[in-house]
Amino acid sequence: MDHTRTRTRTRRAASAATAALVLAGIVTAAGPAAAAPACTPRIQVLGSIGSGGYQVGNPQTEGVLGLGTGTLSVGRSGAKAVYWTGTRLHKVPLPATTYSSAVLAVNKGGLMVGAVYGADGYLFTYRAGDAAVTPLPGSDFLSADTDVNDAGYVVSATRTGRGAVWKDGLKVRELAVPAGSVPNTRVDIVTAVNNRGDILGMAREDYEVPETGEHMEGTFPVLWPADGGPAKALSRTSNESYVQDLDESGRAVGYDWNGMGYRYLPVTWTPPYAGSASYPGVLKTHPYGTLEAITPTTNVSVGTARFHPDEQTLPDQAQLWPGTGPVLALPRLAANQASTAASAADDGRVGGAAVNAAGTLKPVIWACAAKQAYEPK
């Protein structure tokens, strides 16, 4: 199983009049969010090179994983790294022997970051029109999640058990686990960086207490603050908390593993992280669900409503949470066919994948997604 939790997102444009912040070695620029342009609610089906169907409980071979400026979007098709301009698909120039790959994020300047999977896997950056990708030194097959902010800083984790930050193709910083962590705790994934410079990830502990023989095993969310302060462990909501994305204010979204298998529950963490995390609830028609991405400034989160793969009553369905009220459903591409959401933008777009009437999985974008979202009866 490919354990890539590739949950990517767009980063809002920075105001030229705002001074750059030099924090923890990460230069960021932030400005007021521009008004979202008018749009027509619709499901836009993008070009694809795959012909498979939806894989319940597994990462998909098709999907829009990041939303860039204008009509640029990025992701995977046919399990290969691709990007789109409008609906037109473009392949990222990777070696023909590459087994599986994806573009996981893109910033406002068009800098993409992606991953090649497998034993010889690595992260890469790419810009449209380049003849080849730029592999990132020190990245490896455990760099399953990654993100890039508008200043061009790329974040991920590596098999050294620490997080890493790259800029202009060079590693510029390592990220350690929070002080006071039990022995052998390691950085498991790094999933997001915002323009302020906050970095979000997850640590994994696997430790036996000598005095009691108690075995401490599980994951917990971690935030590395933009001011360069020490890593902060966020509230634990279960023994397996998967943080996925981070907005410009520091809100984090993800999901908990609730028992055996794929019983996930959506979770949010809100600055200053002093209290407990919050549970937005699940889609009325499904017992479980995830939050995979949050818009940079409008507090809209998206993910997928699920059943356990062995207990399928309804197909998975892309979902949207407006930040208050109930979790809402995004319309399916075809009746009784699965869908999933993985990226979101301030202009109202949501990216993901959906199965058409012929049973084929397609990369899609919901335009004006909030206007299409509805509460199931």
What local confidence, expressed as pLDDT, does residue 7 receive? 36
What local confidence, expressed as pLDDT, does residue 238 receive? 77
Bridge partners of residue 74, in order along the sequence:
66, 83
Bridge partners of residue 266, in order along the sequence:
255
Could you list the pLDDT tens digit for every one of the 377 residues in the chain?
333 333 333 333 333 333 333 333 333 334 444 454 567 899 999 999 999 999 998 889 999 999 999 999 999 999 999 999 999 999 999 998 888 999 999 999 999 999 999 888 999 999 999 999 999 999 988 777 999 999 999 999 998 899 999 999 999 999 999 999 999 899 999 999 999 999 999 999 988 888 888 887 889 999 999 988 899 999 887 778 889 999 999 999 999 987 777 899 999 999 999 888 899 999 999 999 999 999 999 999 999 999 999 999 999 999 999 999 999 999 999 999 999 999 999 999 999 999 999 999 999 999 999 999 999 98
**Cα dihedral 236, 237, 241, 246 sign:** negative
Element spanning 139, H or E: none
In 64-214, which ranges are continuous DSSP H helix? none
What local confidence, expressed as pLDDT, does residue 239 receive? 75
Q: Is 373 exposed, middle or buried (0-12, 13-18, 19+ CB in 10 A)?
A: buried
* Closest C-alpha to 322, from 275, 373, 284, 283: 373
Task: Write the CB contacts of 212 (distance below 8 Å, at least 6 apart in sequence).
Answer: none
CA 14/CA 309 separation, integer angstroms: 42
* Tokens matching residue 163: 């997080």
* Tokens matching residue 197: 């410079």
What local confidence, expressed as pLDDT, does residue 2 receive? 38
Hey, what's the torsion of the CAs at 234, 151, 157, 184, to 10 degrees?
-50
DSSP-derived letter for residue 181 is P
Q: CA dist 34 to 40, 143, 296, 372, Å?
A: 18, 33, 12, 22
What local confidence, expressed as pLDDT, does residue 211 receive? 87
pTM strictly above 0.85: yes
Q: Is 253 exposed, middle or buried (0-12, 13-18, 19+ CB in 10 A)?
A: buried
Q: CA dist 47 to 68, 287, 313, Å?
A: 17, 32, 30
What local confidence, expressed as pLDDT, does residue 18 receive? 31
Q: CA dist 117 to 81, 98, 209, 351, Å?
A: 11, 8, 35, 22
